[in-house]
Structure 1
Amino acid sequence: MEATTMEATTLKREATERAPTETLRKRAAGVRAAQRTIGSAEAERRTAALRALKAVLVRSRAEISRANDEDLARAAEEGLSGSLLHRLGLPDAKFESLLEGIDALVDGEDPIDRVLTRTELDEGLVLERVRSPLGVLLIIFESRPDAVIQIGSLAIRSGNGVIMKGGREAARSNEALVGCLRQALEEAGLDPRAVLGVPDRRDVDELLALDDLIDLVIPRGSGALVRSIQERSRIPVLGHAEGVCHLYVDASADPEMALRLAVDGKCDYPAACNATETLLVHEAFLPRLGPVGEALRERGVELRCDEPSRQVLPWAEAASEEDWGLEFGDLTLAVRTVAGLEEAVDFIHAHGSSHTDAIVAEDPAVAERFLKAVDAASVFHNASTRFADGFRYGLGAEVGISTARIHARGPVGVEGLLTTRWLLRGEGQGAADYGPGKRSFTHRPLDG
């Protein structure tokens, strides 16, 4: 994931008891005020802002690239790890994906005030439950400047205000992209204060104290970072913990498919939180494991195998207990042999992070048992763990992947950034009109 345990420790060490500075509180209050105007604006205005955002990004591509190149150069000089450097870059392919994500949000239905239920309480007294923005979001993330546009575009579509604290290593890129978001809002006639970027790490603890102005914190980083923030704030936290994803190769697996999905899950983007970190192999599949291991080896993957799988792949490193449940974030893969489905599921529950787990199996009964038994935000059959992504799910983008069980789970897109409100339309009725010997409620469901 984006942030490390060291990052969480540093943030906690820098925590203070001081009240938020008036300047920071004032800026956060500005986000709250702007959010209310955007959340209540006509849907066409939010759509116009998204269209403007795409146009601004295209016009500003050269400027954004220069800023990103400066960040990459400084990060390389400071010895930033390879996985974080990979996340920090903003190449053409990633930039085009951002534009496609905006298009998906433009084409999607505006969710605000969508009627979920409509009930007649009595004649002339109609109650509706409708979708509503959460309010003001605080997003804390590291290394990925593309997250600024993903988060910002989702906030615009869902009518939320957003405060973003990106990593120091992406400071120039983040500043340029936040500027694009604010410019797009202004061009659409909406309040640009709804998007705020804060570059200073010391601002985090002050922001976490603003429970009257911020409604939800979403930390995109390590489990240690999530827990650290939960301990330091009364604001609800939507946790995005480690991505320890498993691929279980069943005895019935097609060998070619197992090879393809193992390589894709590990090699397509090793630094991503949905990359495969542990390959679980049914003991009956071991005689067919050789080509899978060789294909991974050819792609530069270091395998850390238990003793049974090393009998097939003798060139692999010996795994240690510390390798199980570890998010490597690079071209390293743990391999563990299991006796069957039940042992695979137990291993996943003992060592996984409830992010994404997959099975390769031709036996449909085994596959269905896996899909039902594994307790994770995303569970796949004959598909790479790399599909666990808001863009690939058709959400347009995501603010992150939640491993929590309350409110939102898995890739968090527009729907995960909404709550509900109740709207009641009457004709002068009072609560005292109802009761024994008086009027009765009808509670009749109506079409939406």
Structure 2
Amino acid sequence: MAPMATPMAENLRVRTAAVREAQRVLGSAPAERRTAALRALKDVLLRSRAEISRANEADLSLAAEEGLSGPLLHRLGLSDAKFESLLEGVDALADGEDPIDQVLSRTELDEGLVLESVRSPLGVLLIIFESRPDAVIQIGSLAIRSGNGVIMKGGREAAHSNVVLVDCLRRALEGVGLNPRAVLGVPDRRDVDELLALDDLIDLVIPRGSGALVRSIQERSRIPVLGHAEGVCHLYVDASADPDMAVRLAVDGKCDYPAACNATETLLVHASFLPRLPGIGDALRERGVELRCDERALRALPWAEAASEQDWGQEFGALTLAVRTVESLEEAVDHIHRYGSSHTDAIVAEDRETGERFLKEVDAASVFHNASTRFADGFRYGLGAEVGISTARIHARGPVGVEGLLTTRWLLRGEGQGAADYGPGRRSFTHRPLDG
């Protein structure tokens, strides 16, 4: 006999079933209705700015009392710049083409029998993320555009902000006649285990956090998991690198937002570039960066700290950078594959052939030539927003925008044909490609 469901579990199942029901309405609604919901979301956010600020200030105050570290406090804050970026992302999604039912291919199977492959929502998403409350709007707006229902479990440190922002999403849906139950926020960490058991109602789990979090969820659920492991991002300074560009990209990658998962964590330096390494080192030191160097790099930067084996493959999330010397492009790529997290890696090189080899040979979700690792972001990629950055190798990879939240369906339009009409001595398939 199956164990009797607890009232809490049953309540969560009922609420999740309501998300599923609301999602089917959202996913089949006219494109104009989803666009209207995004327009309404921007209006709701603007009208609710003071309420959002008060909630965020309450979260920041509690977090400071509990001794939350500086980088995490920065993630938790919802500054004016972050708020404006959220509005821009919502605008970009509203201005973009609605993806649902876009025809990917049309094939005539026979005269009067036409098959289409079209884009379709995945269904119900469970997103588990940490301290960034702006993720609520990024995730929610992507869910609206892609016609997916979404359940969000944010970090407890952002509890006040998350409640207000989830309410903004629900008000936007309700304001255009869509069911607000397509969006659900769950504040209790204990709810996660209950949700991970609802594989008949939830179609995809996207955890935004450490690799340990991703692995833990994969072990506890039969629901597919789109994982975001650590952001151990590398910048390789090649022998042919322009020194000024190397300084600029090293500083931007490390200092622009040290707590971000796309911040540079390890600087790899070709041995022949070592005489010019002090230019990079001094620029980073001026910005308060602690450098942890291997023996050869330490001779060029004697004021730095000595690196340990643990520093390679470390996501510092702060103004700390590991520096290692390599003899060749091959050694740099080998280091990245050994210690990296397949998130984002970049090369500084004037030699185009070397740059192209790096782009081809490095196995990561995003690989850059002469650009900062900080560009690995859904908004910067023109996706409007991102639900996370996938370091997995299935379904979607890198910043996951609208397209990463879609699957396909097959639509067949006929005139009464049956499968028994076809075969030897009967009708034959034409399988003729048609224009979309």
Shorter chain as normaliser: what TM range?
A: over 0.9
Q: Which amino acid aligns with 2:428?
A: S
Match of 1:222 in 2: 210
> Deviation digits for residues 79-125 of structure 1, max 9, x if unmatched?
11111111000000000000000111011100000000000000000
Deviation of residue 136 (structure 1)? 0.1
Match of 2:20 in 1: 32
User: Is 1:182 aligned to residue 160 of structure 2?
Assistant: no
Any residues of structure 2 matched to 1:154-169 within 5 Å, and which? 154-169=142-157
> Deviation digits for residues 351-398 of structure 1, max 9, x if unmatched?
000000000000001111111000000000000000000000000000
Q: Which amino acid aligns with 2:328?
A: G
> Deviation digits for residues 302-355 of structure 1, max 9, x if unmatched?
000011111111000000000000000000000000001000000000000000
Deviation of residue 199 (structure 1)? 0.1
Match of 1:345 in 2: 333
Deviation of residue 18 (structure 1)? 6.6
Match of 2:43 in 1: 55
Q: Secondary structure at the match of 1:289?
A: helix
Deviation of residue 22 (structure 1)? 1.2
User: Is 1:280 aligned to residue 268 of structure 2?
Assistant: yes
Q: Secondary structure at the match of 1:413?
A: coil
Any residues of structure 2 matched to 1:93-172 within 5 Å, and which? 93-172=81-160
Q: Secondary structure at the match of 1:408?
A: coil
Any residues of structure 2 matched to 1:215-364 within 5 Å, and which? 215-364=203-352
Please, which of 408, 414, 433 is the counterpart of residue 402 of structure 2?
Answer: 414
In structure 2, C-alpha distance between the alignment counterparts of 1:159 and 1:17, rounded to whole Å: 33
Q: Secondary structure at the match of 2:106?
A: strand
The alignment covers a number of residue pairs equal to 433
Deviation of residue 224 (structure 1)? 0.3
Q: Which amino acid aligns with 1:60?
A: S
CA RMSD of superposed structures (Å): 1.0
Q: Which amino acid aligns with 2:224?
A: P
In structure 1, C-alpha distance between the alignment counterparts of 2:277 and 2:66, rounded to whole Å: 40
Deviates most, 18-27 or 428-437: 18-27
User: Is 1:74 aligned to residue 62 of structure 2?
Assistant: yes
The 4+ residue runs of structure 1 with deviation greater than 3 A are 16-20
Please, which of 42, 54, 78 is the counterpart of residue 30 of structure 2?
Answer: 42
In structure 2, C-alpha distance between the alignment counterparts of 1:164 and 1:296, rounded to whole Å: 37
Q: Which amino acid aligns with 1:62?
A: A
Deviation of residue 188 (structure 1)? 1.1
Deviation of residue 17 (structure 1)? 11
In structure 1, C-alpha distance between the alignment counterparts of 2:435 and 2:177, rounded to whole Å: 34
The TM-score with structure 2 as length reference comes to 0.98
In structure 2, C-alpha distance between the alignment counterparts of 1:21 and 1:224, rounded to whole Å: 25
Percent of paired sites with the same residue = 86
Deviation of residue 236 (structure 1)? 0.2
In structure 2, C-alpha distance between the alignment counterparts of 1:438 and 1:163, rounded to whole Å: 51
Structure 1, unaligned stretches of length 5 or more? Answer: 1-15
Structure 2, unaligned stretches of length 5 or more? Answer: none
Q: Secondary structure at the match of 1:21?
A: helix
Match of 2:199 in 1: 211
Q: Secondary structure at the match of 1:217?
A: strand
Deviation of residue 70 (structure 1)? 0.2
Change (3 A) 1:358 1:159: same
In structure 1, C-alpha distance between the alignment counterparts of 2:23 and 2:242, rounded to whole Å: 51
Q: Which amino acid aligns with 2:374?
A: R
Q: Secondary structure at the match of 1:274?
A: coil
Deviation of residue 195 (structure 1)? 0.2
In structure 1, C-alpha distance between the alignment counterparts of 2:146 and 2:182, rounded to whole Å: 12
Q: Which amino acid aligns with 2:230?
A: E
> Deviation digits for residues 19-62 of structure 1, max 9, x if unmatched?
67111000000000000000000000000000000000000000
Q: Which amino acid aligns with 2:292?
A: R
Q: Which amino acid aligns with 1:340?
A: S
Match of 2:392 in 1: 404
In structure 2, C-alpha distance between the alignment counterparts of 1:244 and 1:21, rounded to whole Å: 37
